[in-house]
């Protein structure tokens, strides 16, 4: 059952081939047997999952089951889940049990899904390798010596290893698309504001966006339909109707105009990754699409702009973790200042501290105009680059990451790690949607094709990705990890 897509599992439930309880028990068994080596979950909610599965089976017997009813999923551990620890991969929140559900969690529960548990992640979503987690690094099921990508690495690894048929992640600068590419699955970052951020612990509020991670674009379309939509509790949520994302999946691609940003095919791109991406583009040409080179001239400014804006917002968002109201508190503080200092020093890891310091500095008097204001001006230029490009083409394509998954511990300095996001960060600065789909291998490690579209063009992106997956079988490949234990 763990080799089936979400759509196939839904069909099996409808046909009565198995119950939700049997399906849930199967995935819980795989997690118990295999995740000690992978470390993709922080918290497994087995008892709660089986109770939800029984409720889903009862709903199906009554004839009220929707398309997601009874399907097991995993949640990145920054979505607040009532009665369940929500740690954000940090010692700071190791003891925090959420008193409420995030809107996304509410919507999935209303659809009848079954949460298997909370997946491992880079601490407070800050990282590109899943090595900054307080609970230890996640390993890539294709090669246990490699990282799974970050910060949604636990979600990506769990889906790739068949520990969950799908998972929810978040993307602030590539944290859905890069791990999807590294783990050989499909990951969609929606338009900013398309999915509610209420109850999603914030890293950078103007950049964070939740999205689905699954085997196929068809699976992602099914999930996006359940989680998208306006939420009055989230001031950044867009008041806009939710289309039927599955309705356009089979639209032919004849006449599709594909743009190839020249900045995405230059120095720093692994030649084997480039070869896989260009072969994928040839598949699109065979499906009737046309290809042209374009330019996104401010791409080289995306990383410096991002690493001013995101840490500045993180500095503000993480100021609430002070040892007073919730989260980690130091022992025997001598006074209030000592409580603040030691609680934060003990609760946060090195990468989070680094970004808080960067952000506090750029927001301080005398530096705000020189750094933060200037970065926001650059952000506007980057956004305009995409708007201009989409006047000429329908979608943009390129690599999701400059290399395949790198070895655990390979990128020891922060700058090398930050450069891993060179092809993904600008998309978050512009607020547009993007999807990564499996497009081949470099050795035994997967690589991904990134497809970008205009604001609220998720239906088109899913269609373009689905048609590629109908013509190729990269998304059907499975790692040998754990198969002997089936």
Residue 133 designated active-site: no
DSSP class of residue 371 equals I
Residue with the two structure tokens 């992106």: 461
**What is d(CA 221, CA 68) in angstroms, rounded to the nearest whole number?**
12
- The residues spanned by each domain of the chain are 6-254+461-476
Radius of gyration from C-alpha coordinates of the chain: 21
Instruction: Tell me what the mean pLDDT of segment 159-188 comes to.
Output: 98
Measured from the Cβ of residue 214, the count of other Cβ atoms closer than 10 Å reads 28
Residue 343 designated active-site: no
Active-site entry in 151, 237, 315, 436: 151
**Looking at residue 366, what is its pLDDT?**
86
Predicted confidence (pLDDT) per residue in 15-28, tens digit: 999 999 999 999 99
Cβ–Cβ under 8 Å, residues 294 and 261: yes
Pairing of strands 166-171, 209-214: antiparallel
Instruction: Tell me what the mean pLDDT of segment 214-226 comes to.
Output: 98
Residue 4 designated active-site: no
Predicted confidence (pLDDT) per residue in 32-81, tens digit: 999 999 999 999 999 999 999 999 999 999 999 999 999 999 999 999 99
**What is d(CA 60, CA 64) in angstroms, rounded to the nearest whole number?**
6
Q: pTM to 2 decimals? A: 0.97
pLDDT band at 130 (very low <50, low <70, confident <90, very high): very high
Q: Domain 6-254+461-476 carries which CATH code? A: 3.90.1300.10
Instruction: Tell me what the mean pLDDT of segment 193-197 comes to.
Output: 98
Instruction: Tell me what the mean pLDDT of segment 162-188 comes to.
Output: 98
Q: Which helix (H) or strand (E) holds 450?
A: strand 445-452
Predicted confidence (pLDDT) per residue in 226-278, tens digit: 999 999 999 999 999 999 999 999 999 999 999 999 999 999 999 999 999 99
Is 481 a residue whose pLDDT tops 80? no
**What is d(CA 49, CA 27) in angstroms, rounded to the nearest whole number?**
10
pLDDT band at 485 (very low <50, low <70, confident <90, very high): very low
**What is d(CA 67, CA 178) in angstroms, rounded to the nearest whole number?**
28
Active-site entry in 175, 237, 436, 459: 175
Percent of residues, the chain, with pLDDT higher than 90: 94
Predicted confidence (pLDDT) per residue in 324-343, tens digit: 999 999 999 999 999 999 99
């Amino acid at each position: 059952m763990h080799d089936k897509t979400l759509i196939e599992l839904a069909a099996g439930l409808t046909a009565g081939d198995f119950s939700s309880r049997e399906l849930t028990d199967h995935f819980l068994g795989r997690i118990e047997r295999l995740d000690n080596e992978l470390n993709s979950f922080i918290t497994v909610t087995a008892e709660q999952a089986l109770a939800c599965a029984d409720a889903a089976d009862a709903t199906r017997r009554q004839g009220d089951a929707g398309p997601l009813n009874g399907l097991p999923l995993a949640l990145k551990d920054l979505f607040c889940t009532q009665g369940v620890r929500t740690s954000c991969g940090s010692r700071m929140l190791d003891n925090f049990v959420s008193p409420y559900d995030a809107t996304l969690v509410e919507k999935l529960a209303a659809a009848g899904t079954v949460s298997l548990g909370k997946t491992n992640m880079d601490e407070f979503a800050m990282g590109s390798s899943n090595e900054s987690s307080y609970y230890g690094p996640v390993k890539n099921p294709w090669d246990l010596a490699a990282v799974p990508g970050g910060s949604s690495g636990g979600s990506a690894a769990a889906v790739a290893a068949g520990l969950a048929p799908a998972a929810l992640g978040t993307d602030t600068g590539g944290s859905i698309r890069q791990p999807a590419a590294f783990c050989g699955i499909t990951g969609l970052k929606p338009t900013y504001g398309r999915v509610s951020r209420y109850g999603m612990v914030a890293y950078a509020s103007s950049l964070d966006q939740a999205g689905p991670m699954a085997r196929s674009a068809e699976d992602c379309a099914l999930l996006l339909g359940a989680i998208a939509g306006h939420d009055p509790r989230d001031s950044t949520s867009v008041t806009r109707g939710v289309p039927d994302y599955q309705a356009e999946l089979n639209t032919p691609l004849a006449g599709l105009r594909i743009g190839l940003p020249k900045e995405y095919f230059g120095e720093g791109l692994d030649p084997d990754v480039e070869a896989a991406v260009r072969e994928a583009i040839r598949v699109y040409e065979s499906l009737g699409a046309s290809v042209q080179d374009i330019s996104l001239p401010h791409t080289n400014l995306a990383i410096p702009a991002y690493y001013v804006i995101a840490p500045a917002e993180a500095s503000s968002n993480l100021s609430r973790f002070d040892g007073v109201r919730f989260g980690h508190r130091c022992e025997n503080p001598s006074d209030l200042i000592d409580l603040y200092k030691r609680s934060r020093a003990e609760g946060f890891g090195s990468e989070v501290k680094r970004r808080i310091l960067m952000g506090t500095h750029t927001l301080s008097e005398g530096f705000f105009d020189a750094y933060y204001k200037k970065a926001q001006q650059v952000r506007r230029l980057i956004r305009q680059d995409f708007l201009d490009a989409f006047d000429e083409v329908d979608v943009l394509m390129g690599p999701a990451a400059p290399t395949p998954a790198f070895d655990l511990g390979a990128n020891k300095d922060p700058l090398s790690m930050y450069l891993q996001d060179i092809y993904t960060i600008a998309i978050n600065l512009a607020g547009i949607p993007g999807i990564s789909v499996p497009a081949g291998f470099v050795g035994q490690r997967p690589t991904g094709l990134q497809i970008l579209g205009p604001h609220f063009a998720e239906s088109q992106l899913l269609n373009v990705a689905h048609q590629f997956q109908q013509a190729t079988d990269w998304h059907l490949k499975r790692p040998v990890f754990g198969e002997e234990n089936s």
